[in-house]
Structure formats: C-alpha cells, structure tokens
Amino acid sequence: LIEMSYEYEHFQTVKQQNPIRVENAPLIQLIDDDISMLILLKDALERKGWMVIASTELDVAKEQYYDHRPDCLIIDINLDGESGFQLLEDIQNHTRNKYIPKIMISVKADRETRIKSYKMGADDFISKPIDLEEFLVKIERHMDNKKLFDQSSMIDELTRVYNRRFFHDSLLIFMNELSRNQRLFSLAMLDIDFFKKVNDAYGHQTGDKVLVEFAKYLKENVRQTDYVFRYGGEEFIILFSGANGNESKTALEKILKGFSEKRFAEGENAFSVTFSAGVFMVDEPEMERDIIIRAADQALYEAKQKGRARVEC
Ligand code: GH3
Ligand code: MG
Ligand code: MG
Ligand code: MG
C-alpha cells in the first residue's frame, strides 16, 4: 500500500510536469496502463536525458500527442479495455510524411501481434517483460535515426513549406546578401488567431488542413524571391527579399484580407480563419539574428494585443 501511494503521488507530479517542454529537446511519449511500468520506463528514459510525457489512457494519450508533437512513441498494446493500436490508427494521417519512431510494447508477443504492429506502421516491437538495457539502447538508436532524418530535410512534412531548420540557414544567407550587396530584407512572423478554437471545435485533422491551406496560400501569394517557413505549430515566417517594412506590411495586409475571405467547410459549418503578423526590417548587417527574430516576435505580440487579424511593423 505504501508503495502504491508513493507511485500515485509520483504519477501526479509526473502528470503535472508533462506540459513543460524545453525548446527543441527530444520528446518521447509513453503510454502504458500499468503505472509501475510507466514510472519505471519514464525514469529510465529521463535519466538518459530525454523529456517524457506519459499517460495510462488512450484518450489522454491522443490529446497529448497533438498538443506536444513527440519525436517518438512507445505504446503498450494491451491497455485497460482498449488497444494501443487505436493510437497508431488515430495518428496515421498525421505521421504520414514524417519519421516518428513508433515502438510497440506488449506482453502478448505472438507472431500475429508482431506482424500486425509492423503492418500498422510500428518501427519496432519489444516484448514484456522488458530488458531495460536492451530497451534503452533500442530507443537510443531510434532517436539517433530520427535526428539524422530531420537534419537531412529542409521541408516541413505537413505543410510542404520550408522548415524551421532551413529558416536559420536562410536567415544567414539573407544576412550575407545584406552585408555583401546591401540588399535589405524584412522578416515577418505570422501566427494564426485563436487556432486552439479551430482544433477544439473541429478536431486536429481539420486544424491540420487549415495549416496546409494557410501555407499554400502564403506560398502562392508572395514573390518568387520571398521565402515561406513553418517556424512552429501554427507559426510561420516570411523573408521578404529587398522589401522594407512598409512594403512587407502592405503585402501581408493583402494576404490577410485574401486569406480571411476563404471559407473552410466542415460538415454543416463553414468557418474562416485570420492571422496576426509582426514585421521587422533588417538593414544593418551587424544585427544579431536572435535580436531580429525577437523584434518580429515583439511586433507580432503587439498585433495580438491590439485585437488580432492585423499586421504590426
Ligand atoms: P492566439 O490568437 O493567441 O494565437 O490563440 P491560439 O489559440 O492560436 O493560441 P496559441 O498560438 O497559443 O495556440 C496554438 C495552438 O495550435 C496550440 C496547439 O494545440 C495547436 N497546434 C500546434 N501545432 C499544431 C499542428 O500541427 N496541428 C494542429 N491541428 N494544431 C496545432
Ligand atoms: Mg498493459
Ligand atoms: Mg502560436
Ligand atoms: Mg495562434
């Protein structure tokens, strides 16, 4: 009993700690209905330096997945009255163009279950009881592969615009252009307004569709010399080449008007979406990149403060 209550308390603090994510730190999602097992694995993974979100229930796990975008999933197949396969199925669409290692764990390790796991998109299968050393070395291998995969890509899997990593490379190139050829540019940071409400009202899949459409609209409505990046969840960056702050602001306002007139149909309902944007012009080659990004972010914050659906310079 003492052990149980220790576990319970520990699990409560584990749950509370879930939402904190250090920027870019690799995150592993764990789901197992056996609390002792969950705590054991979570502790072991954390001692290896990974961040872990854990849950014992399928519903919670689904929500956590969409809220936290883990880099790796460890899924117990035999959940209390439910099947871990359901989670695999649910996120199938979302993981289609991505490499997110999915590791199934199970006491039921017969040939059929193993084959089913791989057929449903799992990358590995580990049977219980778990050999902790083998488990950790396998996870490490999967996380290394994932890192390599992500580093070799410049395209965001969902929206097919450039990704955050490539943004940092591109900013360097723009800075070089500025110091060598005095070509100034503007950096705009865009964030969809009340996007949580879209997810809450219509589900994450519809939310994803909005992101895809938004990215597509941006790409189609900037000049060929401008670059569109997905910076984070529903945050995008545009590098406007050779454009000062006002020119970029005007371009964005036109985009904002056009995009907010778009109707997204969802069953009986139709809804529209706006965004807010902050623009910062870069015309000094010595300027630090962090400061540039922060300045655009600050302008975006102002746009949100002033009521959203607007562009601040
Ligand atoms: P605000 O106007 O203040 O920006 O409100 P907001 O609701 O957009 O708030 P915030 O920017 O903090 O929330 C962003 C939400 O976007 C939270 C997260 O669940 C959701 N999100 C992030 N990435 C994705 C994604 O890839 N797909 C979906 N569907 N939702 C995502
Ligand atoms: Mg179980
Ligand atoms: Mg946001
Ligand atoms: Mg937002």
- At 178-207, the pLDDT tens digits run 999 999 999 999 999 999 999 999 999 999
Supply the pLDDT for residue 268. Answer: 87
Q: Is 235 in the pocket of ligand 1 (CB under 6 A)?
A: no
| Ligand 1 atom with least separation from CA of 308 | 2
- At 46-80, the pLDDT tens digits run 999 999 999 999 999 999 999 899 999 999 999 99
Give CA–CA dist 64/53, Å, rounded.
Answer: 8
Q: Is 196 in the pocket of ligand 1 (CB under 6 A)?
A: yes
Residue that the structure tokens 């050829």 belong to: 181
Q: How confident is the model at residue 5 (pLDDT cuts 50, 70, 90)?
A: very low
Give CA–CA dist 113/115, Å, rounded.
Answer: 6
Q: What is the pTM assigned to this prediction? A: 0.69
Q: Is 193 in the pocket of ligand 1 (CB under 6 A)?
A: yes
| Ligand 1 atom with least separation from CA of 206 | 29
CB burial of residue 179 (10 Å; 0-12, 13-18, 19+): exposed
Q: Is 116 in the pocket of ligand 1 (CB under 6 A)?
A: no
- Which residues, listed in sequence order, are joined to residue 104 by a DSSP beta bridge? 75, 125
Protein residues with C-beta less than 5 angstroms from the ion ligand 2: 33, 76, 78
Residues 6+ apart with CB under 8 A from 67: 19
> In this predicted complex, what is the ipTM?
0.95
Instruction: Indicate which residue's Cα is closest to atom 13 of ligand 1.
Output: 196
- Which residues, listed in sequence order, are joined to residue 31 by a DSSP beta bridge? 55, 75
> What average pLDDT does the segment 83-108 reach?
92
Give CA–CA dist 227/168, Å, rounded.
Answer: 12
Of the bound ligands, which one is closest to the alpha carbon of residue 195?
1
Supply the pLDDT for residue 93. Answer: 80
Residue 234 near residue 192 (C-beta atoms within 8 A): yes
Q: Which residue, 157, 91, 82, is CA-closest to 122?
A: 91
> What average pLDDT does the segment 238-254 reach?
98
Residues 6+ apart with CB under 8 A from 69: 27, 233
